[in-house]
Each structure stands twice: as structure tokens, then as C-alpha cells.
Chains A and B, each alone.
Chain A
């Protein structure tokens, strides 16, 4: 059993999806999906324990050894990501039952859960696999599932958003496929571990450079790096709230994982940072993303869209951390990966509560909500403070590491720009705070109740996690440092 853990991680949600189809009844499906998620979560915890005990786990699919067969390879980085994805997906599902009944029609709920499980399968698959082509396959599974989820939103624009994402996502996937194809052409292997060994022999060929470039662009499209982020704001804004929470917290993070894996483990630090101007590219695009997306966020009237743009800017922070090319920088990225997932889960779940009661996330609809839905609004405010990077929230921890990494490299001006990014975050968060707390409600006769507990409790789990991991950083900082060391260790 123990040695089959890596495949169980993927198989459980994969099998759960068709079973949902058989179960049909939405209420049954809901509980079943939750149980499957909890199981996946338990598996991920066991995996991390195994990795901590025995080091990297290698699992050959179907007994076929690499490079013929597909290999699953779990080290600290994957194990960390797996815990992140499964825990967030589980907690999000707790709120799904309530939230979905308001946002999508009864008949579609089962299909939503199926898409959700397939998306989870895809994300977990990307993280566990050690095979480059397999990455592409799982990426497509998760993407197709997320197009479906987004299209289920009750706003007519959600169809358009899903279509937009479909086009952009397919272009990205194609680029990734071309990149992988070129790598295969040059090395004759798809196994990442083998790739890492064989690429140095051919690293000066133009084909390898081209492969890297295609791959990079494709992945950056998937992770919505500015200016390849165009699909993201609409997709997040018009998807059902639960889908937004799940995608915002996990999908982009997994894409960043892929980026890290290929930059550091497959191509190696030497190739990525010395032969290519990766530092310049990532740092400049990251910074542009931080500043530009934050400014755009300030002018949004749809609050979900506002936080979607905020996500684009937060991705900028993570990319910037990679771009610095030092261990501290990578630690900052890994920390922010985790921390940003917590912030956005809290905020988007609280927004799910607002959608449930108020039916709108237009900024005008927030007037007076501070008094009517105090717990929901408090969740948004604390999540927002964390985004800004106020001490004793997780946001501060990641900002601290990022600025420290920049100062260590003597990049003072960039550190200033990062802090300016925080100021811009204040501007967009405070627009909401002002309206919610210091504006009287629009219609005097209408008063909204607090969001249902089924949504509020998961949201507050995330809020408390924001504070807890902001105070006790031993787990997050420890794991982040360990993974950063691991990635650099592979490179050396």
C-alpha cells in the first residue's frame, strides 16, 4: 500500500469522477466527493511523511521502468504542493454544497462535481508525474475541466470567459507540447530525470533553446504571467464562486510548480540563468505584472474581477522571486505560493458568501455590509490585510523574504517597487473597506443576513490559517527553504 501512494494520489480523484456520474443524485455526490477529497488529502500527508523519512520516492507506473514506462517521482517540492492542493480543495468543497445551489441550476451540480474532480486529478497528476509528456496530458485534463467549470457560471458572460480561456489555454498547451516535442527530438527521452542528464550534451543547440522558449511561453500563459494574463480576470470573475476559489488557489500555483521544475530540475540553473537572460525576463515581467495589474485592480467595479487582477499581480511577486535566482528568492516564491493560496481562498470564499446572500459582487452592493455581514466582511478585510503584507499575517512573511532576497542581491530600486506594489494593494483593498463599513446600505428596507455557516466556516479556516502561518512560520518557511535548497542542489 505504502509504495503505491504516488499513484493513489492521482487514481482516487480520477476514479471518483465517473462514480459521481453513476451516483447522479447531487446530495450523494457532494458527500462522496468530499470523502474522496479527504482521502486524497490523507494520501498527500502520508506522502510527505514518506519523503521526509526516505527521501525522494520513485514509482514506476504499471511496473514499466523509465524511460519506457511512466515514472512518478515525489520529492519535497511535489509533496509540499500536493498537500497545498488537496487541503485547499477539501476545505473549499465543504462550502460547495451551499454555494452551488445558488449559483448553478440543480441539474448541473453533479456535472460540476465531476469537472471539479477531474480538474483535481489533472492538477495532482501534473505534480506527481516525472514524465514531461505526462505533464502535458494532465495539464489538458485539468484545463478542460476548468473550462467546463467556468462555463457553468450563471452569468452569460461566463460562457464567453470560458471560451476566451479555452482559446488562450489551448495556445499555451500547444506551445508546451511543441517544447516537449523538441526536447524529445534532441534527447530521445520524455522522462524528466533523463532529460536533465541528457540535455547538457546538446545544450548549445538552437533546438534546445527553441524548446525552452516554447515551453516557457506556454507555461507562463497557463500561470497568467503578465502580459499573458488576459484570460484570467474574466475567468475568475464569471466562474461559479467555488470554481474561482479552487482555481485561484491551486491552478496557477501548479503552473508555477511546472515552471520551477523545468527551470531548475530539467534544464538546470546553469542553463536557465547563465545561457539565457531569464533573470531579466522574469524580473521585468514580474515587476510589470505587480504594478500594472494592481493599478488595473484599483479601477474594477466587480470585486471578484478586482481580486482576479490582484492575483495577476501576486503571481508577479512569485515570478520575481524566481527571477532573482538566489536561494532566498526561491524561498520567497515558495512561501508566497503557499501564502497567496491561503489569502485568495479566504477572500474568494467570503465573496462566495456575499454572492449567496446579496447575489452580486458589484462594489456598490457592498454598502453597509460591514454591519450586516460582519464575519464575512472581516474575512475579506483580514485576507486583504494579508495581501497588503501587514505583520502577523502570512503576507508579511512572504514580503519580508522577497525584499530581503532583493536587498541581499543589492537590488534596492526593485525592492522599492515591490513595496510600492503593497501600497497599490492598500488602495484596492481600502475601496472595499470604505464602502462596506462607512457607507450606509443602499436600500434601507433590505437587510442581508450573515453568510451561511457552511460557507463561513471554511472561509474562516483559511482566515485563521492566514494568521496562524503568519505567526508560526516554522512549517512554511522550513519547507520553503528545504525545497529551495533541493532545487538548487539539483542544479549544482
Chain B
């Protein structure tokens, strides 16, 4: 496929492909099997496309496509660069898995409005792909907003008062930060630098004052609300009212990763890490992000609702990536980029498990899950693997990214940051590991364990999906080359003196 099509065409197909599932979804809205088939077929095609694109990807040339010019200087244009390819690989491969999972979950749960669900999902994925390949801040912003708007109906899916309230929080925080800060920062960048195109080493020249750049950096960091930097993280727990596949793919992978992806992009390609290291405000933002990591972990410990706990854990883990970007060293950028991948596979596994428990055992609170390992062994093993990756223990993928993040903080001589990151990892152990351990080794609820034959797992598509992601988490520990390679070339593009 890669040979038949040149890279430019392929890149555009990756962006458009998810949308092509929509006619099928709408056409077969009364025949669920055909409807889901169209999602799965397109999902598989997308996976092939992103892999083919990766194989043909050459970091030095970078395919470029220009769609149209909105206003002089404001273009919708795409360019492939390592971070974008990395992000598209993650999102592209996980969409297919999530679609498989969703079929089991949505039917097992008897959800309504499934046509709307799959349609919005496809739009969201297309938005992610557009965002991943954006060549300039404006294009990125457009797809960022597409992502916000297309995921809103997924959050409010249930239509209950609680869902509507969650949706309101979700939308109001994401849209207001994006308009009030992010858009403002973009226009400010335009007014200062006269360009919005991502460039190696940043877009600002010596005429821009440091104060101005500091202001812009702060606006960017807070404006990219999808990265859930405290205090603008509340939308993420609120979004947990959504069906679990949404929480899994969008609120552990696509949407939140779009946020940290944007932060990395801005740090590397708008400011450039040399400049970033020069600004005083970077340090303050770094401390804020680090404090956010710690706080989120502490809050996560107090949550009894499993999805809520995972959501706060996500807030904390996103903080790791923001920290990586703000460390302004090569190792930091490398670790941040790798953590996008590692956290994606680990956290999606955890969410899949949470959903499986909800469907099979109808349990949402952690305190009710003791002894559950007897009836849902596969789910709980997968949960264990996912937890290991989040904590950063071998043999799970999370170890690598945490390793590089710690190295990055060492290089930047940020001892405090390093210590906090390590403490936070300990906290991760404290709030994640007890869940699978109690599920298997809790003797108090032996009532369940007597009936060993009563294994009751989630529907098989869901089980298959969570097994795949759990295995992938392990595989990525042993073979991290693909992602390491991409993250490495990003880090080398980023420049930096102390790398």
C-alpha cells in the first residue's frame, strides 16, 4: 500500500478515512452488525494506513500537504514529523481495538443511541489525525476544537441529568480555556512572530521580549485544557459519565494525549527548548505541573469509584508529560513523547477492565471488587499489567518513559522534580496495585471463591480487546524501538544544549 501511494496522499487518507465510516454507520443504523462492521473495516484500514505511513516516513523530508488558505497566513496544512507520526500510530492502532471492545460493551450494557455514538467517535478520530499532522498552530486549533465538539455528545451520551452536568463541565472548561487562553496565545504569537507554522527551534526571533514570550507560554500551557494541567483538570473526572469505551480511548488516549501532544509541539516547535530553558517562567510552570502530579495522585487515592480514580491517575500521568516538555532538555522531551505511548496502552487497558467489570459484575466502586479475581481472572490479570505500566515497573512499557523522564530531570538539575516524580510513582503503587491484589488474594470474601466454576467475564469482544492492549503493554517493554526511534528523532530535532 505504501508503495502504491505516495506519502502525501496517504497522510490525507489517514485524516479522511475515519469520516468514511460515517455513511456506513448512518446507512445501517437499523442493522447493528453491518453498522459495526463499517467501523471495524475502516478501523482496520486506518491501522494499515498509519503503519504504512510510518514505514515510508522519513524524518528529514517530511511530507507536506497544503489544503487551502483561510486568510493570508492562516493555512490548513499538514506536515508529518516524528511526534505526529507517533501520535497517529497510537491513536490509529487503539481505535480498532476500542471499536472491538465497544461492540461488546455497548451491547452488553444495552446502551441507546449507538448510531450517534459511533458517528461521533469516527469524527473524533479524524480530528485526532488532523491534529497529529497539523503543520501550524491554526490547523492544530481547528482540529482541537473539532475534537472538543465531537466528543461532547459522547460525554452526555446517557442523557441523564448527571451526564448533562458532566457534559456542561466538560465543554465549558475545554472551550473556555481554548478560546480565552489558547486562541489568545495563537493570535498573540501571530501578532508577535508573524507566522504560525511550526518550525525547528521555534518561531520567535530576538525582537520578541522575554516578558511577552513568558506571557504567551503561560497562556499556551493553561489554554491547552486537554492536557488537564491543574487547576483546569476538572473536566476529566467529569467526563467519566461517558460510556467506558469513550473514557478509554478518548479520555485516556485521544483527547488528553491531544492536549499533551499540543504542549510538546508548542514547546518544541513554537518556542524551541533552548528558548524555553531561558525563560524564568518555565521553571514556575514546571513546579506547578510537578505539584499537579503529586496532588492528582493524592486525590486519586481517595476515590472509591474506579473510573474516577483512573481519571485522577490520568491527570497525574499527563502531568508527567507536561513536566517532560517543560524540563526543556532532550531527555525530557524524549521521555514525554514515550510516555504518550506507554501511558496510552497502560491506561486504556485499565479502562477496558473497569468497563468489563461494570458489564459483567455491575460494579463501579473499588470497595466492592474484593475477590473479583476469582470470577474475572483475565480482566484482573490485565488490570495488573496495566497498573505495572502506569507505575513504571518492568516488564511493562511504562518503565522506559519514566526512566527518561527521571533522566531528564537529572540533566536539568531539577532535584525536587525528580523526587516528586518518584514519590508519585510510589503513590501510583498505593492506589493501583491493591485493586488486582485484593481481587485475587482477599480471603475474607471466600463465598465467591467456592464457586470457581462460575467464571463470568465480559462479552468476548471486550475481553479480546483488553487482552490485546495488555499484551501490547508487555510487548512494548521488550520492543520499544518503534516508539523510541520516533521520540528520539523528535528529541534530536528539538535541539538543546545539554542532551
CB of B71 within 8 Å of the partner chain: yes
Q: How far in angstroms is the closest Cβ of chain B from A59? A: 35
Interface residues of A in 381-418 (CB under 8 A from B): 385, 388-392, 397, 400, 403-404, 407-408, 415-416
Interface residues of B in 46-82 (CB under 8 A from A): 68, 70-71, 74
On whether the beta carbons of B179 and A397 are closer than 8 Å, the reply is no
Q: Point out the residue from A385, A404, A427, A439 that lies within 8 Å of B187, measured CB to CB.
A: A404
Q: Point out the residue from B74, B163, B176, B180 that lies within 8 Å of A438, measured CB to CB.
A: B163
The stretch that binds A, out of B164-172, B202-210, B367-375, B426-434, is B164-172
Q: Which chain B residue lies CB-closest to A389?
A: B179
Residues of B within 8 A of A477 (CB): 71
On whether the beta carbons of B187 and A407 are closer than 8 Å, the reply is yes
On whether the beta carbons of A472 and B183 are closer than 8 Å, the reply is no
On whether the beta carbons of B187 and A472 are closer than 8 Å, the reply is no
Residues of B within 8 A of A404 (CB): 187, 190-191
Interface residues of B in 183-201 (CB under 8 A from A): 183-184, 187-188, 190-191
Q: How far in angstroms is the closest Cβ of chain B from A338? A: 14
With the chains together, A434 CA to B183 CA distance in Å? 25
Q: Which chain A residue lies CB-closest to B172?
A: A426
CB of A105 within 8 Å of the partner chain: no
Residues of B within 8 A of A430 (CB): 168, 171-172
With the chains together, A423 CA to B225 CA distance in Å? 15
Residues of B within 8 A of A420 (CB): 180
Q: How far in angstroms is the closest Cβ of chain A from B148? A: 9
Residues of A within 8 A of B141 (CB): 391
Contacts A391-B142, A392-B142 given; does A423 touch B179 at CB 8 Å: yes
Chain A window 466-484, contacts with chain B (Cβ cutoff 8 Å), 1 for yes, 0 for no: 0000111100010000000
Contacts A392-B142, A423-B179, A472-B68 given; does A403 touch B184 at CB 8 Å: yes
CB of B399 within 8 Å of the partner chain: no
With the chains together, A415 CA to B215 CA distance in Å? 14
On whether the beta carbons of A397 and B176 are closer than 8 Å, the reply is no
Q: Point out the residue from A391, A419, A438, A471 that lies within 8 Å of B145, measured CB to CB.
A: A391
Number of A-B contacts (CB under 8 A): 71
Q: Point out the residue from A419, A426, A427, A438 that lies within 8 Å of B159, measured CB to CB.
A: A438
Contacts A390-B149, A404-B187, A407-B188 given; does A419 touch B70 at CB 8 Å: no
Q: How far in angstroms is the closest Cβ of chain B from A407? A: 4
Q: How many residues of chain B are within 8 Å of chain A by beta carbon?
A: 28
Chain B window 376-389, contacts with chain A (Cβ cutoff 8 Å), 1 for yes, 0 for no: 00000000000000
With the chains together, A430 CA to B175 CA distance in Å? 12
Residues of A within 8 A of B71 (CB): 397, 400, 473, 477
On whether the beta carbons of B175 and A473 are closer than 8 Å, the reply is no
Q: Point out the residue from B70, B153, B168 that lies within 8 Å of A437, measured CB to CB.
A: B153
CB of A128 within 8 Å of the partner chain: no
CB of A440 within 8 Å of the partner chain: yes
On whether the beta carbons of B68 and A471 are closer than 8 Å, the reply is yes
On whether the beta carbons of B68 and A426 are closer than 8 Å, the reply is no
On whether the beta carbons of A422 and B179 are closer than 8 Å, the reply is yes
With the chains together, A389 CA to B159 CA distance in Å? 26
Q: Point out the residue from A390, A416, A471 that lies within 8 Å of B70, measured CB to CB.
A: A471
Q: How far in angstroms is the closest Cβ of chain B from A465? A: 16
Q: How many residues of chain A are within 8 Å of chain B by beta carbon?
A: 31
Q: How far in angstroms is the closest Cβ of chain B from A379? A: 16
On whether the beta carbons of A423 and B175 are closer than 8 Å, the reply is yes
With the chains together, A385 CA to B138 CA distance in Å? 17
Q: How far in angstroms is the closest Cβ of chain B from A129? A: 33
Interface residues of B in 145-161 (CB under 8 A from A): 145, 149, 153, 156, 159
With the chains together, A426 CA to B177 CA distance in Å? 12
Q: How far in angstroms is the closest Cβ of chain A from B242? A: 13
On whether the beta carbons of B183 and A419 are closer than 8 Å, the reply is yes
On whether the beta carbons of B188 and A438 are closer than 8 Å, the reply is no
With the chains together, A407 CA to B163 CA distance in Å? 39
Chain B window 108-147, contacts with chain A (Cβ cutoff 8 Å), 1 for yes, 0 for no: 0000000000000000000000000000001001100100
On whether the beta carbons of A415 and B184 are closer than 8 Å, the reply is yes
Candidate in A391, A434, A437, A471 with the most chain B CB atoms within 10 angstroms: A391
Interface residues of A in 438-488 (CB under 8 A from B): 438-440, 470-473, 477
Q: How far in angstroms is the closest Cβ of chain A from B111? A: 15
With the chains together, A109 CA to B179 CA distance in Å? 45
With the chains together, A423 CA to B174 CA distance in Å? 11
Q: How far in angstroms is the closest Cβ of chain A from B241? A: 12
On whether the beta carbons of B153 and A423 are closer than 8 Å, the reply is no
Contacts A391-B141, A392-B142, A408-B191 given; does A416 touch B184 at CB 8 Å: yes
On whether the beta carbons of B159 and A440 are closer than 8 Å, the reply is yes
Residues of B within 8 A of A426 (CB): 171-172, 175-176, 179
With the chains together, A438 CA to B163 CA distance in Å? 9
With the chains together, A416 CA to B184 CA distance in Å? 8
Q: Which chain A residue lies CB-closest to B156?
A: A438
Q: How far in angstroms is the closest Cβ of chain A from B334? A: 32
Q: How far in angstroms is the closest Cβ of chain A from B367? A: 31
With the chains together, A167 CA to B180 CA distance in Å? 40
Q: Which chain B residue lies CB-closest to A421?
A: B179
Q: How far in angstroms is the closest Cβ of chain B from A235? A: 31
On whether the beta carbons of B187 and A416 are closer than 8 Å, the reply is no
Q: How far in angstroms is the closest Cβ of chain A from B181? A: 9
With the chains together, A65 CA to B70 CA distance in Å? 45
With the chains together, A400 CA to B149 CA distance in Å? 20
Residues of A within 8 A of B168 (CB): 430, 434
Q: How far in angstroms is the closest Cβ of chain B from A111? A: 44
Q: Which chain A residue lies CB-closest to B165?
A: A434
With the chains together, A354 CA to B149 CA distance in Å? 24
Contacts A408-B191, A415-B184, A434-B168 given; does A423 touch B159 at CB 8 Å: no
On whether the beta carbons of A438 and B191 are closer than 8 Å, the reply is no
With the chains together, A423 CA to B175 CA distance in Å? 8
Candidate in B149, B156, B191 with the most chain A CB atoms within 10 angstroms: B191
With the chains together, A439 CA to B156 CA distance in Å? 11
Residues of B within 8 A of A388 (CB): 175, 179
With the chains together, A423 CA to B187 CA distance in Å? 17
Interface residues of A in 293-330 (CB under 8 A from B): none
With the chains together, A471 CA to B142 CA distance in Å? 11
Q: How far in angstroms is the closest Cβ of chain B from A83? A: 21
With the chains together, A430 CA to B187 CA distance in Å? 25
Q: How far in angstroms is the closest Cβ of chain A from B191? A: 4
Q: How far in angstroms is the closest Cβ of chain B from A333? A: 16
On whether the beta carbons of A419 and B180 are closer than 8 Å, the reply is yes
With the chains together, A400 CA to B179 CA distance in Å? 11
Q: Which chain A residue lies CB-closest to B184?
A: A419
Q: Which chain A residue lies CB-closest to B176?
A: A423
Contacts A423-B176, A438-B159, A438-B167 given; does A403 touch B145 at CB 8 Å: no
On whether the beta carbons of B190 and A423 are closer than 8 Å, the reply is no
With the chains together, A148 CA to B179 CA distance in Å? 41
Q: How far in angstroms is the closest Cβ of chain A from B219? A: 10
On whether the beta carbons of B159 and A403 are closer than 8 Å, the reply is no
Chain A window 233-254, contacts with chain B (Cβ cutoff 8 Å), 1 for yes, 0 for no: 0000000000000000000000
Kindly list the 3 A-B residue pairs having the minimum CB-CB distance in the complex, ordered from nearest.
A407-B191, A391-B142, A438-B159
Q: Could you list which residues of chain A lie within 8 angstroms of chain B, going by C-beta atoms?
A: 385, 388-392, 397, 400, 403-404, 407-408, 415-416, 419-420, 422-423, 426-427, 430, 434, 437-440, 470-473, 477
User: 20 A-B Cβ contacts within 8 A?
Assistant: A389-B179, A390-B145, A390-B149, A391-B138, A391-B142, A397-B70, A407-B191, A408-B191, A415-B184, A419-B180, A419-B183, A419-B184, A426-B171, A430-B172, A434-B156, A438-B156, A438-B163, A472-B70, A473-B70, A473-B71
Kindly list 11 other residue pairs between chains A and B, CB separation below 8 angstroms, not including A437-B156, A438-B164, A439-B159: A391-B138, A404-B190, A404-B191, A420-B180, A423-B175, A423-B180, A426-B171, A426-B176, A434-B167, A471-B68, A473-B70
